[in-house]
């Protein structure tokens, strides 16, 4: 059989050949590459070498074949012309080549030749096909009809095993692979099964498994920071709410609220308008830790993230919020047992993170923040009117704006938090503003209000308002008094509070616009505490009313000693100024106008070498609730003068002083003293710290009795003491101390 074609394999080169078969014209040689015809080649007829314009791909099938032109004869003879042998040969050669090509391309009836391409029947039938015997045989209609009517017989059919008389088809393992599934295959998750590992696990659909969590991307959220994802997030929240439980079951007095989480995969989600959670009892938002919810990017911070009322349970985890007006403007509808939790949440560039609306809509609510970060451009973390707010291990950066980080009518507690100031000296700035504002234009003096700080670090770093401003009035009921302010185990570093109110004479870590029940420090450390106007506690000049009789600023020994040490470096510094007499007052119900820790203010008298100390005492004899035995130990100390003996000599005396009610010609109060210990000191013992006179009034001398006064029963008392002393000290310690309204516990 004559050769009329050859197939080459692409090698990356452009030349192939020589062509092994003869041809009449170069145009009779045709080429396909992987079945596609090409004309991008030339043939050197002298060498029969083929040169392609560009190299065929490595490994490609290059078919070179002859297709002799048979439209016209190579030579045509006319009557009377000479017949040349060459012309006859050309015609015979042309006919020969065409016959050879037909022979090579023809289908042999004995099946000895195979096709090199597909058989195109042009919509015609192949008839009289025998029944198939091999897997690659064609089938006829009779065979197919028998299969349809009788089913497929049992047995291994290749990738499928048939059993049960053709009723069961089992696909062999590893037959269906990812490569064999078309990307457009529409296999729904309800048709796929999932079984959890472990004893007792039950099979369910993949659809059911995936619905355990509602993803915002299930509803079209993109998370590219550009696309507005508001509608998708709203749809996801609506779906989660629809799946939630909100039922009251037999035997229970409350509603059960619970539902699936709304999940945010990694991404930046643009929010152009507020998400509504109104009337959704259970809202839980969870990010994978790399999620940013972004308000409008104009820089105006005009968009809220979420609004709504009657939200009983609110949980937010692992989400970063940026560029919002108010992130959560929500309320609980005062539903009992309402609980809101924010965990590993970050916020920056927001005007307000949480606003609970009012006392009437949110008081029965607890709010907790855990491991949260509120960065510098968070103007306010919370405006809240609820029962309890707790913060654990949070970073709280104060804003430069004149406002409070927390404006609350609540009991608020901080544990292990870090407070970082913005370095501004503007007024009306603080961390916590405790108020009786009810959020709706009125006031409410609820009990159990206060602020507590434990194991926190509070830094100044160039400007910080007070940690807490108390504008919640003192509430005294039969069972409790409020508000109470405590610091425990806190470190206050470089703390020099700037003025809260412009022009006020003093500032402090705690700043009082109204009297609280108490202020307590326990185990706290200070570094460079205070300034000429800054201290651990201060009050507004506008607070002119008397402090409650039970009001006390209580410092334990370590805190008090540490505070004394750090302010003692400069004589102008004080632990406190107008409120010194309330610090560690040994008997706050009766001793007034004293210095901290029972010390009395000491000044000079008209007599050289003598000092006097004055204080106020409330006897309480006009009110049975405050009846108190009045006995004190009085410790007096003096330092010798340079003109008498030596300045380095010093000594002390100890007295027991008592106040009694007497009646001679009228009702009077009497004061008396008994020396318990002390002696002269210096050369020839010429100096001492003994009492010269103890009397009523503020003068150098006076009477030991005084007529009973008004119902306040408050009297000035002065102790003149010392001989030849330049400096003096005086301190009172109760021999008997009794809280108010507790006398029956000791009476008998």
| Residue spans per domain, the chain | 5-105, 398-584, 602-745
Residue 323 has, within 13 A of its CA and on its CB side, a CA count of 16
The yes-or-no verdict on residue 565 having pLDDT over 60 is yes
pLDDT at residue 365 in the model: 95
The pLDDT-based confidence of 306 (bands split at 50, 70, 90) is very high
Residue among 357, 500, 522 nearest 439 (CA): 357
Tell me the CA distances in angstroms from 210 to 38, 218, 267, 448, one per residue in order.
53, 10, 20, 45
pLDDT at residue 253 in the model: 57
The yes-or-no verdict on residue 666 having pLDDT over 90 is no
Give the 3-state DSSP-derived string for 601-626, with helices as H, strands as E and coil as C.
CEEECCCCCCEEEEEEEECCCCCHHH
Q: How far is residue 583's CA from residue 520's CA, in Å, rounded to a whole number?
A: 9
The pLDDT-based confidence of 622 (bands split at 50, 70, 90) is low
Residue 368 has, within 13 A of its CA and on its CB side, a CA count of 12
The pLDDT-based confidence of 247 (bands split at 50, 70, 90) is low
Residue percentage of the chain with pLDDT more than 70 = 89
The pLDDT-based confidence of 478 (bands split at 50, 70, 90) is low
Going by their DSSP bridges, the two strands 291-294 and 313-317 should be labelled as unpaired
- What average pLDDT score do residues 349-371 get? 95
Residue among 558, 553, 635, 560 nearest 600 (CA): 635
pLDDT at residue 650 in the model: 85
Phi/psi for 685 (5° steps) reads 55, 40
pLDDT at residue 131 in the model: 84
pLDDT at residue 166 in the model: 72
10 Å Cβ neighbour count for 319? 24
Question: Which helix H or strand E contains 237, and what residues bound it?
Answer: helix 230-243
Tell me the CA distances in angstroms from 159 to 155, 174, 175, 180, 572, one per residue in order.
11, 9, 7, 13, 95
Alpha-carbon Rg for the chain, nearest whole angstrom, is 50
Residue pair 293/320 in contact by the 8 Å Cβ criterion: yes
The yes-or-no verdict on residue 345 having pLDDT over 60 is yes
pLDDT at residue 699 in the model: 97
Q: How far is residue 282's CA from residue 304's CA, in Å, rounded to a whole number?
A: 19
pLDDT tens digits for 154-180?
Answer: 777 777 888 877 778 788 777 777 777
Going by their DSSP bridges, the two strands 525-527 and 491-493 should be labelled as parallel
- What average pLDDT score do residues 686-690 get? 91
- What average pLDDT score do residues 113-123 get? 77
10 Å Cβ neighbour count for 712? 12
pLDDT at residue 575 in the model: 84
Residue pair 396/366 in contact by the 8 Å Cβ criterion: no
pLDDT at residue 656 in the model: 96
**525 bridge partner residues:** 491
Place of tokens 């109110």: 501
pLDDT at residue 530 in the model: 60
Residue pair 497/431 in contact by the 8 Å Cβ criterion: no
Residue among 620, 554, 542 nearest 578 (CA): 542
111 CA to centre of own chain: 79
Q: Which of the pair, 415 or 581, is modelled with greater confidence?
A: 415
Q: How far is residue 64's CA from residue 638's CA, in Å, rounded to a whole number?
A: 125
The yes-or-no verdict on residue 257 having pLDDT over 70 is no
Going by their DSSP bridges, the two strands 518-522 and 484-488 should be labelled as parallel
The yes-or-no verdict on residue 712 having pLDDT over 90 is no
pLDDT at residue 742 in the model: 53
Q: Helix or strand or coil: residue 563?
A: helix
Tell me the CA distances in angstroms from 739 to 258, 625, 736, 746, one per residue in order.
48, 10, 10, 11
Write b or e for each residue in 443-459: b if 16 or more Cβ atoms lie within 10 A of its Cβ, otherwise e.
ebebeebbbbbbebebb
Q: How far is residue 394's CA from residue 374's CA, in Å, rounded to a whole number?
A: 8
The pLDDT-based confidence of 85 (bands split at 50, 70, 90) is confident
Who contacts 725 (Cβ-Cβ below 8 Å, separation ≥6)? 609, 610, 611, 638, 639, 640, 641, 687, 688, 689
327: its two tokens:
């992130």
Residue pair 675/691 in contact by the 8 Å Cβ criterion: yes
Of 117-131, 474-488, 535-549, the range with the lowest mean pLDDT is 117-131
Place of tokens 């099964």: 193
- What average pLDDT score do residues 504-533 get? 86
């Amino acid at each position: 059989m004559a050769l009329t074609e050859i197939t080459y394999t692409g090698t990356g080169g452009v030349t192939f050949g020589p062509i092994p078969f003869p041809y009449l014209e170069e145009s009779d040689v045709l080429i396909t590459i992987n079945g596609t015809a090409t004309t991008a080649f030339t043939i050197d007829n002298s060498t029969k070498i083929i040169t392609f314009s560009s190299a065929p791909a490595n490994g490609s099938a290059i078919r070179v074949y002859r297709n002799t032109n048979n439209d016209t004869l190579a030579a045509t003879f006319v009557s009377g012309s000479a017949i040349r042998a060459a012309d006859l040969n050309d015609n015979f050669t042309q006919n020969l080549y065409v016959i050879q090509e037909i022979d090579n391309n023809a289908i042999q009836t004995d099946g000895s030749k195979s096709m090199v391409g597909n058989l195109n029947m042009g919509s015609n039938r192949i008839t009289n096909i025998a029944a198939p015997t091999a897997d690659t045989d064609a089938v006829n209609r009779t065979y197919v009809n028998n299969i349809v009517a009788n089913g497929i017989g049992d047995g291994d059919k290749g990738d499928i095993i048939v059993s049960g008389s053709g009723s069961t088809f089992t696909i062999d393992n590893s037959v269906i692979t990812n490569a064999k599934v078309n990307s457009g295959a529409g296999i729904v998750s309800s048709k796929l099964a999932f079984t959890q590992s472990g004893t007792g696990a039950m099979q369910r659909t993949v659809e059911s498994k995936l619905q355990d969590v509602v993803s915002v991307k299930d509803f079209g959220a993109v998370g590219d920071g550009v696309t507005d994802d508001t509608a998708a997030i709203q749809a996801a929240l609506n779906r989660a709410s629809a799946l939630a439980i909100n039922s009251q079951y037999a035997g229970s007095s409350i509603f059960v609220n619970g539902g699936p989480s709304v999940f945010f995969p990694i991404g930046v989600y643009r929010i152009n308008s507020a998400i509504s959670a109104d009337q959704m009892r259970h809202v839980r938002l969870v990010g994978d830790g790399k999620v940013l919810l972004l308000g409008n990017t104009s820089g105006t911070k005009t968009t809220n993230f979420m609004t709504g009322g009657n939200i009983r349970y609110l949980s937010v985890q692992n989400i970063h919020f940026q560029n919002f007006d108010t992130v959560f403007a929500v309320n609980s509808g005062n539903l009992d047992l309402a609980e809101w939790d924010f965990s590993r949440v970050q916020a920056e560039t927001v005007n307000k993170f949480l606003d609970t609306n009012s006392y009437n809509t949110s008081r029965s609510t607890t709010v907790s923040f855990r491991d949260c970060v509120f960065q510098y451009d968070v103007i306010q973390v919370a405006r809240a009117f609820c029962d309890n707010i707790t913060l654990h291990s949070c970073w709280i950066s104060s804003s430069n704006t004149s406002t409070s980080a927390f404006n609350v009518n609540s009991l608020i507690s901080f544990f292990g938090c870090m407070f970082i100031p913005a370095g501004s000296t503007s007024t009306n700035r603080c961390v916590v503003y405790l108020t009786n504002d009810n959020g709706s234009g009125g006031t409410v003096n609820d009990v159990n209000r206060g602020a507590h700080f434990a194991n926190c670090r509070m830094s100044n770093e160039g400007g910080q308002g007070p940690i807490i401003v108390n504008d919640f009035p003192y509430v005294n009921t039969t069972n409790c008094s409020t508000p109470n302010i405590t610091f425990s185990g806190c470190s206050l570093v470089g703390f020099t509070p700037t003025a809260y109110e412009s022009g006020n004479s003093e500032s402090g870590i705690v700043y009082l616009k109204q009297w609280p029940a108490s202020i307590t420090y326990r185990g706290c450390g200070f570094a460079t505490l205070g300034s000429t106007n800054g201290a651990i506690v201060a009050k507004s000049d506008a607070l002119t009313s008397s402090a409650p009789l039970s009001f006390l600023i209580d410092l334990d020994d370590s805190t008090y000693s540490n505070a004394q040490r750090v302010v003692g470096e400069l004589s102008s510094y004080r632990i406190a100024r107008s409120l010194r007499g309330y610090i560690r007052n040994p008997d706050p119900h009766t001793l007034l106008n004293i210095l901290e820790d029972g010390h009395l203010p000491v000044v000079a008298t008209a007599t050289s070498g003598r000092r006097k100390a004055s204080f106020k005492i409330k006897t309480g004899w006009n009110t049975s609730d405050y009846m108190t035995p009045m006995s004190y130990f009085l410790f007096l100390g003096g330092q010798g003068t340079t003109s008498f003996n030596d300045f380095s000599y010093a000594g002390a005396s100890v007295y027991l002083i008592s106040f009694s009610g007497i009646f001679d010609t009228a009702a009077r109060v009497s004061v008396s003293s008994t020396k318990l210990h002390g002696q002269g000191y210096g050369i020839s013992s010429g100096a001492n710290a003994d009492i010269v006179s103890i009397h009523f009034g503020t003068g150098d001398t006076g009477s030991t009795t005084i007529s009973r006064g008004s119902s306040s029963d408050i009297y000035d008392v002065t102790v003149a003491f010392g001989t030849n002393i330049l400096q003096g000290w005086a301190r009172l310690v109760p021999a008997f101390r009794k809280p108010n309204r507790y006398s029956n516990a000791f009476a008998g």
